[in-house]
Amino acid sequence: MTIQDYSQLPRRELARYIQFTNVAPNTTRDAIIAHVETCARYSLDAAMVSMYWVPLARDILRGTQVKVATCFSLGSGTESIQGKVELLRECIVLGADEADYEPNMGLYLSGMYDELQQEAAELVKASMGLPFKAMLEFGYLKTDEQKRHAAGLLVEAGVPWIKNSSGWGPGSVPATVEDIHLISEVCADTNSRVKASGKINSYDKAVDLLNAGAELLGTSSALAILGVEPVAAKTDQLYSY
């Protein structure tokens, strides 16, 4: 039976909606190993790691159903369009299954809507079918009208996934039911889908966001949501990286 209300899901079954994130710049190799092994142990949707660690994560997750996700332009989004295209291509070369990027919010705030949409369209072309997500920073947008407009521009450009925030940097904001519902309305009857990110740190909050229309949750609090313990790194095991 299809569950319509996600609050009926057992806590552990939320794992398939969670992309467990560790992209802190001071993360060590051992910490990445422990993070990725945790994703495998609890069958999370994906391990979200910085680009440098993608090959290591792929090596660890070989033979599992857990995806390797990564991100670029985190907290800034101000690279040139061609720079972002090359970063997305590098994500593909490294072996990422998915990638998140931050749009240039300064373009939107300048009223340069065509340029923002062009950036998104160029990334769609360069993606070669790789699922990628636009991390809109709703913290920079003051009205629901702006949020709908910005999300709509990216949906029209063909971006597969729209997010409310990166959860990182000055424009980031906590995911709210209202914002996720707003994005889900924009994405309705299109090929774009919704991922929530930002301060998702409890079972109840995760369920509320899924019920609001999110299909994926980006969070560094996966263990708290699932009510489980971290996995100690197998530092005696050698990985081909």
Q: Which residues are catalytic?
A: 100, 163, 195
DSSP string spanning the chain? ---SSGGGS-GGGGGGGEEEEE--TT--HHHHHHHHHHHHHTT-SEEEE-GGGHHHHHHHHTTSSPEEEEEESTT---S-HHHHHHHHHHHHHHT-SEEEE---HHHHHTT-HHHHHHHHHHHHHHTTT--EEEE--GGG--SHHHHHHHHHHHHHHT-SEEES--SSSTT-----HHHHHHHHHHHTTSS-EEEEESS--SHHHHHHHHHHT-SEEEES-HHHHHT-PPPPP-TTS----
